[in-house]
Amino acid sequence: MSRLIEIVRIPYEEPYHINLIFKAENGENCGQLEIYDNADQLKKIADVLMDFPFGSEKNYCWTLGSEKSEDNFAFFFKCEFAVIEPSGECSINIRLNNNQKSHEKSISEFSIKCYPAELNKLGKLFNEFSELKKTKLRWTGNEGLLK
């Protein structure tokens, strides 16, 4: 089963705001979405994941935008990290919606199963990525790369 989270950072109003291209796949499904967030969010994710699920958080959700048309957001992004089994098995639940109309609409929703040590590795990658010196984060479970 292939697993991938890849984030490309496009310099934008840093160090306060970041522009990211978020890509993910679980071997059967994949999705990609361009998102904007506060730069400090990367460090928050790193802090949670480096000790997940042994720290205070057993479930962490990174959410941006809204799918409600009345909220008028350009996109909806959700990346939730959760423990799903008593054995410690975890899941990264992803939902990406570009909020476009008809033929330009793109929605992806799927999960990536993993283990705490793999999320801890992802947390370490996020920690270094949060320094805004690298432009690409790539995680495949036990493997990770920053460029």
The mean per-residue pLDDT over the stretch 92-103 comes to 96
Predicted local distance difference test score (pLDDT) of residue 88 = 87
Query: What percentage of the chain has pLDDT greater than the value 70?
Result: 100
Long-range contacts (CB closer than 8 Å, 24 or more residues apart) made by 96-103: 96/22, 96/24, 96/31, 96/32, 96/33, 97/33, 97/65, 97/67, 98/33, 98/74, 99/65, 99/67, 99/69, 99/73, 99/74, 99/75
* Whether the Cβ atoms of residue 76 and residue 97 lie closer than 8 Å to each other: yes
What's the CATH class of domain 4-146? mainly beta
Contacting residues for 39 by C-beta, under 8 A, at least 6 apart: 14, 15, 16, 17, 18, 130, 132
The mean per-residue pLDDT over the stretch 81-102 comes to 94
Predicted local distance difference test score (pLDDT) of residue 57 = 80
| Cβ neighbour number for residue 23 with a 10 Å cutoff | 16
pLDDT digits (tens, 9 = 90+) for 64-86: 999 999 999 999 999 999 999 88
The mean per-residue pLDDT over the stretch 82-111 comes to 95
Tell me how far apart the alpha carbons of residues 41 and 48 are, in angstroms, rounded to a whole number.
11
With 90 as the cut, is the pLDDT of residue 33 above it?
A: yes
First to last CA, the chain: 24
Q: How confident is the model at residue 144 (pLDDT cuts 50, 70, 90)?
A: very high
The mean per-residue pLDDT over the stretch 50-70 comes to 92
The mean per-residue pLDDT over the stretch 13-32 comes to 96
